[in-house]
Structure 1
Amino acid sequence: MGRGTALKRIGLFGGSFDPVHSAHVALARLALQHLALDEMRWLPAGRPWQKAHRALAADEHRVAMLKLAIGREPRFVLDERELHRAGPSYTIDSVLELQAEEPAAEWFLVIGQDQHVRLHTWHRWQELLARVTLAVAPRAGESGQASPQVAALPHAEVALPAMPVSATDIRERLARGEGIDGLVPPAVARYIEQHHLYQRGTPGN
C-alpha cells in the first residue's frame, strides 16, 4: 500500500447505474485519487427503495454495462450483493456486511450532492454515518442543502468538474432516438445499441 501499517481505504459507490455513464466513471476515478483509496466498490442496487416507482433495466444488463465501464481499472471492484438480496436495497445493510468481511478497513461512502440533500431520509442513516466517512461530489444544477443534522457531520468533498449528464437524461435521449456520444463510455454505448435498451416502451423507460 505504501503507507506502512495504515488501514486499507475502501470507497463505496452505490446506485442503480441505469445506465452507468461517463460522469460516474470520472467521479470514481477522482475519488480514488482525492481520497487515496486502495479500492472502489461499485454496488448496483437491486431494488432501490427511492426508485420503487420506476422499472429498471434487467440486472444482467446493468451488470454487463458496469463491467464494460470499469473493467480496465484494477482498483474498481464490482460487488453484486445487493442484486441477490431480497427486499429493498439499503446501503446500511451492505455496509454492515462489508465491514464484517473486512473489519480493519476504513470506509468512504461516495455520494452526489443530490443524495446528500436527501440523506436524512435514508434507512438508519445515523448508524450509516457512524460507520463511514462521507465523500460528497457537487452536482451541476443541484442547489439544495443537506439537513442540519447531516450537514453538521464531517465529510470530504470530491472536486468533480460539473458534467451536465444524468442517467435520466440519457434514458430520455435514447427514448427519443437521440445520440448519447460522449455521455457513456463507448463500449457501454455499443452494448445499449446492440441490446436495444432504453427505447420507448422498454423496461427502464
Structure 2
Amino acid sequence: MQPSPLQCFAAGQDEPAPQRFALAVYGGAFDPPHAGHASVICRALETSEQVLVVPSYRHADAKRMADFDLRCAWVERLAARFGDRVRCCSLERELGADGRVIYSVDLLSCLAERYGLPGERLALVIGEDNLTRLKTFHRAAELRQRFGLVVADEEMTVHSSAIRAMIAAGQAIPEAWQLPEIQADMTIYRSAM
C-alpha cells in the first residue's frame, strides 16, 4: 500500500503547502517502535532539518506500557540509523513528573522555548488518521495557530499492539515489521501480556 502524499501546513494555515521546518516533533508510545515508525521519521526528514522522536511518558488512556527508559533506549537505537538529524527526546518524563497530562501544545511550547525557536519553525508530526481528529486535541486552535504540521502516514500499516500480541502468543513477527536494532529485547512482551 502506498502512503498518502506528504502534507505540510504552516502555522495558522488550513491548506497544505511546501514547508521547511527547523524541528519536527514525532510523539507516540513506541511500545515497541517498528518499521512503520521508521518510515514516518524518514518522511518527516523530507520537510525538517531535525526530527525529535518523543516517547510518551504515560499513555493518555492510562494503558500500561513498557518501561519508559527502555522505550527511550529503543528509540535512540532507531534514531541512530538516521544520523545526527534524528534524536530521541525524553522531555515528557520531566513534564509529566508531577503526574499531569502532557498535551502536544505544551510539549511543542516547551521545545520552542528550549531551542529558542519561534513556534512556526516547529511542526507536530501526525498520521493522516489524526488530521481528521486534530480539532479534538487539547487547545487545538492554539496548536494550529502557533505550530506547523507534518502529516506523514506510515509506508506500511503496522500496529505495536499487534506486535506485542504476536510475541505474547509465541508467533513470528513479519520481518518487514521488525527493527533489527531492538529485536533482541522483544522477549519482554512474552511475560508482560
- TM-score normalised per structure 1: 0.75
Select 1:102's aligned residue among 115, 120, 124. Answer: 115
Deviations 1:105-141 (A, max 9, x none): 5111110122223222221111111121111124xxx
Q: Distance in 2 between matches of 1:198 and 1:119?
A: 31
Q: Which runs of 5+ in 2 are unaligned?
A: 1-19
Structure 2 residue 97 is matched with structure 1 residue 88? no
Select 2:51's aligned residue among 26, 30, 40. Answer: 40
1:1-205 aligned at under 5 Å gives the runs 9-33=22-46, 35=47, 37-49=48-60, 51-52=61-62, 54-73=63-82, 74-84=84-94, 85-86=96-97, 87-104=100-117, 106-138=121-153, 161=155, 163-180=156-173, 181-192=175-186, 196-199=187-190, 202=192, 205=193
| Percent of residue pairs identical | 28
3-state DSSP class of the match of 1:38? strand
Give the drift of 1:8: 6.1
Q: Is the 8 A contact 2:77 2:182 kept in 1?
A: yes
Greater RCO structure (CA 8 Å; 6+ sep): 2
Q: Distance in 2 between matches of 1:137 and 1:17?
A: 16
Residues 18, 25 of structure 1: CA spacing in aligned structure 2 closer, same or farther, 3 A cutoff? same
Aligned length: 167
- How big is the alpha-carbon RMSD for the aligned residues of Structure 1 and Structure 2? 1.8
Q: Distance in 1 between matches of 2:113 and 2:179?
A: 34
Q: Is the 8 A contact 2:53 2:89 kept in 1?
A: yes
Q: Which runs of 5+ in 1 are unaligned?
A: 1-6, 139-159
Match of 1:155 in 2: none
Match of 1:142 in 2: none
Letter in 1 for 2:168: A
Residues 129, 80 of structure 1: CA spacing in aligned structure 2 closer, same or farther, 3 A cutoff? same
Q: Distance in 2 between matches of 1:104 and 1:113?
A: 26
Q: Is the 8 A contact 2:22 2:122 kept in 1?
A: yes
